[in-house]
A = this chain, B = another copy of it.
C-alpha cells in the first residue's frame, strides 16, 4: 500500500486518552452508597474510557493493540483518572470546555479508526463501523464493566450518531478519491459540529416506533372499529 494513512499524532491520541481518563473519574464519582468505587475502581473506569476505543478498534482489525506498545497510554490514562478524582470539583466547573474538547476527540478517534480500517482494505461500511466503535467504544466498555445498559442506546444527544456521520464523510470522500487528510479534517469538523449542536439545542434521535400502531390499537379495542 503506497497510500498515505492519516495518522493521529501521539499528543492528540494521548489528549484523547487523558480526557477519557478524566471523564471516567467524574463518572465514577457519581456513584455513592453500595456501588461506591474504591481507588482502583476509579483508575479502571478511567483507563477503560481512555483506552477502550483504541483497544476495540485494533481487536476488530485483528492487528496488534497500538495502545499496548507504548508506556504512555496507560500512564496518561491512570494519571488523568487520579487527577480527575482529586480535582472533581474543578473539572465539573470546566464542563463546557470538556464537552467541547470531547467532541473534537471523538472526531479524531473516529477519523483515525476509519482511516486505519480503509488502509487495511476494509470496504466502506465496515470501515465506518470500526471508526464509530473507536470513537464510542470506551463508553461502551465502561457501561459493560459497571453492569449498566450501554448509554448510547438510550440517552441520545447524538453522541454515536455524530461519530457515524463523521466517519461516513471520511469514507465516502476517500471512495471519491479525496486525500485521506482532507477527509479526516472533514470528519473531525462534522463530528464536532453535530455533537455540539445536539448538546446546545438538546436534539436527540426519535424513539423507536412501529408502523400500524393504530391497527394494533384497534385489535386491542382501544379504538372503536369503524364498520364500512
Binding site for B on A (CB under 8 A): 25, 28-29, 35-42, 44-45, 55, 58-60, 62-65, 67-71, 73-75, 85-90, 117, 122-126, 129-130, 140, 143-150, 152-156, 160-161, 204-212, 215-216
Contacts and interface: CB of A to CB of B under 8 A. Distances in A.
Contact of A153 (B38, B63, B125, B209): B38
Contact of A36 (B38, B71, B207, B210): B207
A18 to B, nearest CB: 15
A145 B154 contact: no
A1 to B, nearest CB: 16
A67 B117 CA distance: 14
A69 B208 contact: no
A208 B43 CA distance: 10
Contact of A69 (B37, B64, B122, B209): B122
A148 B150 contact: no
Given A63-B62, A69-B126, A153-B44, A39 B145 contact: no
A133 to B, nearest CB: 10
A89 to B, nearest CB: 5
Contact of A212 (B28, B89, B153, B205): B89
Nearest to A211: B86
Contacts of A207: 36-39
